[in-house]
């Protein structure tokens, strides 16, 4: 499975980089096809590639074909800047990405300076749009919206209990954890333990001992699935079974591959699953036909970002990135995740987050109260 996925990604990147005709409209995809969250990046590649194929099958944009160039930033800030500069040199019209907030924020500065539109499908840190760059957009919500959902859940469900909040020191994880703490405290709750881990860390025995010493009942983790998966598994091995809660970085089958049955009952927040929307069924069917893993929200939102760019170019009547930016700030865009409209900062006007639970190896959306 892993070899198949990586081969697909490599082929996509290679094919996207050659044979581009002058009449083509070139867009970039900045994501992580290597590194600890490569599984999430692979989903974004699948989604963007399928969107390009579907749009081209219907005649393309402005009578031209879309061509996708994939840049691997490994969710690393410095590598993301290098990818952004490469896209600028290759004169892409727009960029889908980047995947991680820590990569998106520095890359956005490059795109702003060079006048290239960036539409991220998944970067949720509020700082990305706080600078007010007119050509930076996101089709997902923000951590100061997502974190509120988790913080209120903790305040209501674990009132009077011992709660720990952890993060991985990165832009996405720390930003999300800080919002959870703020929300929890505003609701009258208290954090019994606040700590951080290092991305890539493997042994969490000391951390788990500290959590046991504090008699922690619930643990919120701001970060991605590799570290939390190990924390959950190692905690159970040490006889500790608190309620674990995280953000949308947990929306990945690799989480269960790491935890096994220990991951049963883990909660996380994310946008409502696009898989339940009738518009998504064609995309799901195309993935299945191609022998690809069933798409998750990282694939759906990457597909949606390409749709937004394509519709924006069509409405602008030009493949000019400056005209595209102005166009995206007005009107509504029909996507696989529903209608998308942007505010002045480039954020979506109607964000929505719900709670999911890992059960029997699959994430399931919980009923909304």
Q: Which pLDDT belongs to residue 284?
A: 87
Measured from the Cβ of residue 118, the count of other Cβ atoms closer than 10 Å reads 31
Q: Which pLDDT belongs to residue 44?
A: 95
Q: How far apart are CA 302 and CA 335, in angstroms?
A: 10
Task: Give the CATH class of 25-141+275-341.
Answer: alpha beta
pLDDT at 60 > cutoff 90: yes
Q: Which pLDDT belongs to residue 18?
A: 38
pLDDT at 3 > cutoff 90: no
Q: How far apart are CA 197 and CA 54, in angstroms?
A: 41
Average pLDDT over residues 290-294: 78
- What percentage of residues in the chain have a pLDDT greater than 70? 93
- The number of C-alpha atoms within 13 Å of 311 and in the hemisphere containing its C-beta is 20
CB 299 within 8 A of CB 43: yes
pLDDT at 140 > cutoff 80: yes
Query: Inter-axis angle of helices 38-57 and 2-16, to 10 degrees?
Result: 50
pLDDT at 39 > cutoff 70: yes
Q: Which pLDDT belongs to residue 20?
A: 46
pLDDT at 21 > cutoff 50: no
The pLDDT tens digits of the residues spanning 90-123 come to: 999 999 999 999 999 999 999 999 999 999 999 9
Name the token pair of 204.
């969490």
Question: 62: exposed, middle or buried (C-beta count within 10 Å: 0-12, 13-18, 19+)?
Answer: middle
Q: How far apart are CA 268 and CA 246, in angstroms?
A: 5
pLDDT at 277 > cutoff 80: no
Q: Which pLDDT belongs to residue 86?
A: 98
Q: How far apart are CA 122 and CA 103, in angstroms?
A: 11
The pLDDT tens digits of the residues spanning 237-264 come to: 999 999 999 999 998 889 999 999 999 9
**What are the residues whose beta carbons fall under 8 Å from the beta carbon of 18, sequence distance 6 or more?**
none
**What are the residues whose beta carbons fall under 8 Å from the beta carbon of 71, sequence distance 6 or more?**
28, 29, 30, 31, 83, 84, 86, 87, 97
Q: Which pLDDT belongs to residue 290?
A: 78
Name the token pair of 281.
């069924």
Name the token pair of 64.
């031209």
369: confidence class by pLDDT, cuts 50, 70, 90: low
Q: Which pLDDT belongs to residue 368?
A: 65
- The radius of gyration of the chain from alpha carbons, rounded to an integer in Å, stands at 20
**What are the residues whose beta carbons fall under 8 Å from the beta carbon of 162, sequence distance 6 or more?**
192, 193, 214, 215, 216, 217, 218
Name the token pair of 180.
């959870």
Q: How far apart are CA 137 and CA 117, in angstroms?
A: 8
**What are the residues whose beta carbons fall under 8 Å from the beta carbon of 165, sequence distance 6 or more?**
177, 180, 181, 184, 191, 193, 194, 195, 219, 220, 222
The pLDDT tens digits of the residues spanning 198-220 come to: 999 999 999 999 999 999 999 99
Q: How far is CA 332 from the centre of its chain?
A: 22
Architecture of the domain spanning 144-270: 3-Layer(aba) Sandwich (3.40)
The pLDDT tens digits of the residues spanning 344-364 come to: 999 999 988 999 999 999 999
pLDDT at 19 > cutoff 60: no
Domain with CATH 3.40.50.2300 in the chain: 25-141+275-341, 144-270
């Amino acid at each position: 499975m892993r070899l198949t996925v990586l081969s697909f990604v490599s082929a996509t990147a290679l094919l996207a980089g050659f044979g581009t005709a002058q009449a083509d409209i070139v867009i970039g995809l900045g994501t992580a096809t290597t590194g600890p969250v490569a599984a999430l990046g692979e989903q974004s590649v699948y989604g963007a590639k399928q969107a390009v194929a579907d749009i081209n099958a219907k005649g393309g944009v402005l009578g031209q074909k879309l061509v996708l160039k994939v840049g691997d930033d490994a969710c690393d800030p410095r590598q993301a800047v290098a990818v952004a500069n490469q896209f600028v040199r290759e004169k892409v019209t727009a960029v889908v990405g980047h995947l991680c907030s820590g990569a998106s924020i520095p890359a956005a500065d490059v795109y702003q300076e060079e006048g290239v539109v960036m539409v991220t499908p998944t970067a949720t840190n509020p700082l990305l749009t706080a600078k007010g760059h007119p050509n930076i957009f996101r089709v997902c919500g923000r951590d100061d919206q997502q974190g509120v959902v988790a913080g209120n859940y903790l305040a209501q469900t674990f009132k009077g209990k011992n709660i720990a909040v952890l993060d991985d020191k990165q832009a996405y994880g720390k930003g999300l954890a800080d919002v959870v703490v703020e929300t929890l405290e505003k609701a009258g709750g208290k954090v019994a333990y606040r700590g951080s881990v290092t991305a890539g860390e493997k042994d969490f025995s000391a951390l788990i001992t500290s959590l046991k010493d504090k008699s922690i009942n619930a643990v919120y983790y701001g970060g991605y699935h590799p570290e939390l998966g190990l924390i959950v598994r190692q905690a159970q091995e040490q006889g500790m079974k608190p309620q674990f809660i995280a953000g949308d970085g947990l929306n990945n089958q690799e989480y269960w591959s790491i935890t096994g049955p220990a991951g049963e009952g883990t909660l996380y927040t994310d946008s409502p699953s696009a898989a339940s929307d009738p518009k998504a069924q064609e995309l799901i069917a195309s993935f299945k036909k191609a022998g690809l893993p069933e798409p998750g929200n990282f694939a759906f939102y990457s597909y949606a970002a390409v749709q937004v760019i394509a519709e924006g170019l069509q409405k602008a009547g030009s493949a000019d990135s400056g005209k595209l930016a102005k166009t995206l700030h007005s009107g509504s865009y029909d996507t696989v995740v529903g209608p998308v409209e942007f505010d002045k900062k480039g954020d979506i006007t109607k964000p929505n987050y719900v709670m999911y639970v890992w059960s029997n190896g699959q994430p399931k959306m919980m009923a909304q109260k």
